[in-house]
Amino acid sequence: MAEKITPRSEDFSRWYLDVIREAELAENSPVRGCMVIRPYGYELWEGVKAGLDRRFKETGHKNAYFPLFIPMSFIQKENEHVEGFSPELAIVTIGGGKELEEPLVVRPTSETIIGHMYSRWIQSYRDLPVLINQWANVVRWELRTRPFLRTMEFLWQEGHTAHATAEEAMEETLRMLDVYADFAINDAAIPVIKGRKSEREKFAGAVASYTIEAMMGNGWALQAGTSHYLGTNFARAFEITYLDRNNELQYCHTTSWGVSTRMVGAIVMVHGDDQGLRLPPVLAPIQVVIVPIWRKEAERSQVLEVTQQVKTALADAGIRVHLDDREEQTPGFKFNDWEMRGVPLRVEIGPRDVKQQSVVLARRDKPGKEGKEFGVPLTGAATRVKELLREVQKSLLEQATAFRDAHTHYVRSYEEFKEVLNEEGGFLRVHWAGTSEDEARIQEETKATLRCLLLEPPEGEGECFLTGKKTDQVAIFARAY
């Protein structure tokens, strides 16, 4: 199967599409720009959902659901918001065969309709904070699409909270940024950089936007999650007010934050290799695959009996395990098939292993003999498998971090910037004191965008690589998806 996958070094975009097709994560739908998420891809998304949802609930958030259709007048209430989203809106004008009195927008994001509801639910400081998350689909009329990374319809979660003060709302905004970073690093094994978006790149209607940025396997950046402090912009547009302790009417301070199915694309592009996927064990739909091996019919029943015992022991230990007992496929085919699907660990059991009461373990993160362990006793197999899954998780994070660090370059001049970007790519770390116009010029000339302004740059003061002005602000620029 792996021969169908284009090498990453030859064409990274084609490799990405090949892996998604061959691993059966998703495929194009009859509707342009939309995708069908296949069961294996959806199980991976369910892993993302579970990891995030647990963290949301641990930080006091509750799930709710709001309508897919939003009145056009709601979208128009917040000027920056409508201006930012108008090119991407899908609008319904006919329903039940009749023209609607007011057009309905198919949800591009839910700040407006949730703001409307919050204005009805919040009366007093006693009602605050309101901490709600929604798991939903959204539609943005994208022209250039790519599975998981950018599609017209995608799945995501969007958190929306309301607070009494700016301080509380900012604390929430940064807390959720930390939650996203914790998930990315510890579950997805993706090292991310936390930072603030520039004025030019921030969310339409936000006072400040924060992001986690990840480096893909070709050195490009991917915005993997965002958290926005909305100030009182939406509160003023939708009259979200409360009576404070002095019985005076105040506007709420609101936040919103989201992670989407592009996280699945990030997992593919950060960890994948020329053989296909390499999935972090925490999120892998199948953590361990067992492949029985026999040549003669007499060996078959003995091998299958032991593989069933091992499967039961692993399942009892809480491991997501699959026994591949397909008889029409060779063991070699199965090895390639499950490697391509990124299963973190393979258990091989043949007649010799049955005699020795042991198994062979093969790690997906280390190729060939380097990743194999022979003669692992049956009695301790489940314990050893759990240890190895932890090692694979750690190894994938270490590999991705080493790759990111090796492809991050500090540059001091615009000439050096262009040279490094064209020759090596990756993240360009710079002192920055430029304007939105400067950003636009850089993007036009180099296709690189300002990914984020670092929250805690260790460099201290320096000269802006473009303007020469003194600044302590450090930015990351990169070409991005």
Best CATH choice for the domain 2-271 from the list 3.40.50.11030, 3.40.50.1860, 3.30.930.10, 3.40.640.10: 3.30.930.10
Closest C-alpha to 258, from 361, 111, 70, 364: 111
What pLDDT is attached to residue 458? 84
Separation of CA 257 from chain center: 13
What pLDDT is attached to residue 53? 98
Residue range 124-151, pLDDT digits in tens: 999 999 999 999 999 999 888 999 999 9
| Domain 288-388 indexed as CATH 3.40.50.300 | no
Q: Return residue ranges of the chain for CATH 3.30.930.10.
A: 2-271
What pLDDT is attached to residue 3? 55
Residue at token pair 């839910």:
110
Rg (CA), the chain: 25
End-to-end CA distance of the chain: 28
Judged by DSSP in three states, 457 sits in: coil
Q: Provide the β-strand partners of residue 363.
A: 345
Using CA atoms, how far apart are residues 76 and 86, in angstroms rounded to an integer? 9
What pLDDT is attached to residue 2? 46
What pLDDT is attached to residue 81? 66
Q: How many CB atoms lie within 10 A of CB 248?
A: 8
Q: In the CATH scheme, what is the code of domain 408-478? A: 3.30.110.30
What pLDDT is attached to residue 258? 98
What pLDDT is attached to residue 1? 42
Q: Provide the β-strand partners of residue 360.
A: 348
DSSP 8-state class, residue 449: E
Q: Return residue ranges of the chain for CATH 3.30.110.30.
A: 408-478
Q: Return residue ranges of the chain for CATH 3.40.50.800.
A: 288-388
211 and 195 Cβ atoms separated by less than 8 Å: yes
Using CA atoms, how far apart are residues 119 and 112, in angstroms rounded to an integer? 11
Residue range 260-278, pLDDT digits in tens: 999 999 999 999 999 999 9
Q: Which residues of the chain have pLDDT under 70?
A: 1-3, 79, 81-82
